[in-house]
């Protein structure tokens, strides 16, 4: 088979694989990785065709499986297509903006397309029921004393409202993580080098973060509505980038320490992040480490950064 023919076979097979992963619960969050892998194996033209084919297949299956085609349904579909298009923008955008900035822009557009669906979900009864059930599980683990009798005192509604407020202020972060993780996995599989270990947040991002955090503080004090939601989502999205940079610092340090550390350090961080008790600590520590890297530049002292 010629190289040209094999490229088109890759387009078709990886587009179908991406669609199948989208339909399966365990692999849904990784459905963009095959398309990123396609870009590494072929070129921008073939990636564009793969993105279009995947968007059409996902859209057709999404509509076919929908019980009712409401505004929220179309919004959710638009967000998924937006995420697919965002991956193309990250890779193929001719803008001089750094890739990380394109990631934020693409994720932001996808999040805005999905806002009607997300808003309906957060305000709906299902979200309240799930959150209430989770609060009940937490109280069973911690005991009434640990929860200060929250459930017994009828403060569940207050906690649900707090959960809704957090959700609308952080939901765009999901798209940043979705697109960023899939880009990193697909690129790493091709290059066989850790993209996260070499990832750097563009210079000047710290200023934007400061402005966004100021907007978030203003939202807490003055309740500035939609502008406040935008500030929160932007600030948290940028902090995700700094968390990736912090993880890259740890991974680079591990690469410099040898094969055992290369495997165990990143694995330990991921495991600790998934454990509820330590997850919050790690989620806070990684952005702080990434921010410290802006000044310390530890990775400049490790020439084997990201190389197996």
Domain ranges of the chain: 1-192, 194-308
Dihedral sign for Cα 256, 259, 262, 268, please: negative
Give, for 34, the enclosing helix (H) or strand (E): helix 33-41
pLDDT in tens, 225-262: 889 999 999 999 999 999 999 998 988 888 877 777 77
Position 182 scores a pLDDT of 95
Is residue 218's pLDDT more than 50? yes
Q: What is the pTM of this model?
A: 0.86
pLDDT in tens, 113-162: 998 888 887 877 767 776 777 666 666 655 555 555 555 445 667 777 77
CATH 1.10.150 is right for the domain spanning 1-192 = no
The residue among 107, 131, 113, 90 whose CA lies nearest residue 233 is: 107
Position 139 scores a pLDDT of 60
The mean pLDDT value of the chain amounts to 85
Residues whose CB falls within 8 Å of the CB of residue 243, separated by 6 or more in sequence, listed in order: 283, 286, 287, 290
């Amino acid at each position: 088979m010629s190289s040209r023919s094999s490229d088109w076979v890759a387009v078709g097979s990886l587009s179908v694989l991406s669609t199948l992963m989208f339909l399966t619960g365990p692999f849904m969050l990784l459905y963009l990785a095959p398309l990123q892998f396609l870009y590494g194996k072929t070129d921008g033209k073939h990636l564009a065709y793969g993105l279009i084919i995947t968007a059409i297949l996902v859209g057709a299956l999404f509509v076919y499986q929908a019980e009712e085609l409401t505004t929220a349904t179309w919004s959710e579909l638009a967000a998924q297509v937006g995420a697919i298009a965002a991956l193309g923008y990250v890779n193929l955008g001719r803008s001089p903006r750094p890739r990380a900035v394109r990631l934020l822009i693409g994720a932001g557009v996808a999040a805005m397309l999905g806002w009607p669906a997300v808003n309906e979900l957060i305000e709906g009864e299902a979200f309240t029921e799930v959150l209430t059930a989770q609060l009940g599980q937490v109280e069973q683990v911690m005991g009434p004393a640990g929860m200060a009798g929250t459930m017994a005192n009828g403060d569940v509604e207050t906690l649900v409202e707090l959960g809704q407020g957090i959700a609308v202020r952080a939901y765009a972060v999901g798209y940043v993580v979705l697109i960023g993780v899939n880009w990193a996995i697909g690129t790493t599989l091709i290059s066989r080098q850790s993209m996260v270990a070499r990832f750097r947040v563009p210079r000047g991002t710290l200023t934007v973060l400061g402005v966004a955090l100021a907007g978030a503080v203003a939202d807490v004090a003055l309740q500035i509505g939609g502008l406040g939601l935008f500030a929160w989502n932007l600030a948290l999205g940028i902090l995700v980038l700094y968390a990736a940079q912090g993880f890259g610092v740890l991974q680079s340090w591990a690469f410099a320490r040898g094969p055992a550390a290369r495997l165990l350090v990143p694995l330990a961080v991921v495991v600790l992040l998934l454990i509820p008790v330590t997850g919050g600590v790690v989620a806070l520590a990684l952005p702080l480490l990434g921010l410290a890297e802006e000044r310390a530049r530890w990775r400049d002292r490790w020439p084997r950064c990201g190389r197996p």
